[in-house]
Copies of this chain bind each other. A is one copy, B any other.
Amino acid sequence: MEKTDPKKDYTARTVILANGNFPSHPVPYGVLMEAERVVCCDGAAERAISVGIDPVAVVGDGDSLSVELRGRLGSKFIHDANQDDNDLSKAFNYCRKAGWKSLAIVGATGLREDHTLGNISLLSDYVTECDVVMLTDHGVFTVYLRSATIASVSGQQVSIFAFDPMMAISSRGLKYSLNEMRLSRWWQATLNEAEGESFRLEFNGGPVVVYRTWAVR
């Protein structure tokens, strides 16, 4: 039986809708539909508009927009042909320049796996500049630059990822304790479980990527 975490509130004033799987789980879908403003990666604009979203901006190189939709968007279409940034980063940079610092990213996973991997790791860059989470149909990704206490529900599935295989991580409040563990592979700290209303990760160096599922065992 799936229970979503009733205590979690991922409401963000600005939601970025990326061009992966359109959210169907009630948490990311709700956050998207109740956002104060939505910024779309251009490939996601058509679907967003079809469900009644009126994006404040649609950012990208425009290749995936029809001529008709581009015309209808008018000045809301923000052309960014930068080859060094992916679609998500173009939307993020637009928000950053606009001064919008409370961000939730939805629709960033679920299709091409290389996009999923890239988008998850980009959170680590974004989090130095703003308050950002990534919500998927299965859970939430958050990134920590220093040791943190993280809200949870007893039985919630937790996975932890790092980019530096030399960095030691320890935990309190997880079913399988990490003791100065160094993560040289992505699977090594996955499939853990929260024991209560929070758990603690201790490390020097960061960033550390934490994934918590909506489903609770």
Interface residues of A (CB under 8 A from B): 86, 109-122, 124-125, 136, 138-139, 141, 157, 159, 161, 163-165, 184-187, 190-191, 211, 213
Contacts and interface: CB of A to CB of B under 8 A. Distances in A.
Given A165-B164, A191-B86, A186 B113 contact: no
Contact of A190 (B110, B118, B159, B161): B118
Contacts of A117: 117, 120, 159, 161, 186-187, 190
A112 B86 contact: no
Nearest to A137: B111
Copies of this chain assembled into the complex:
2
Contacts of A163: 165, 184-186
A194 to B, nearest CB: 14
Contacts of A118: 159, 186-187, 190-191
Given A113-B136, A118-B187, 8 more contacts: A112-B139, A114-B139, A116-B116, A117-B120, A121-B185, A121-B187, A124-B185, A163-B185
A139 B185 CA distance: 21
Nearest to A209: B117
Contacts of A165: 163-165
Contacts of A110: 110
Contacts of A213: 112, 114
Contacts of A119: 187
Contacts of A115: 190
Contacts of A111: 138
Contacts of A120: 113, 117, 186
5 contacts: A86-B191, A113-B141, A113-B211, A122-B187, A124-B185
A190 B114 contact: yes
A138 B121 contact: no
Of residues A110, A112, A119, which shows the largest number of chain B Cβ atoms within 10 Å of its Cβ?
A: A112
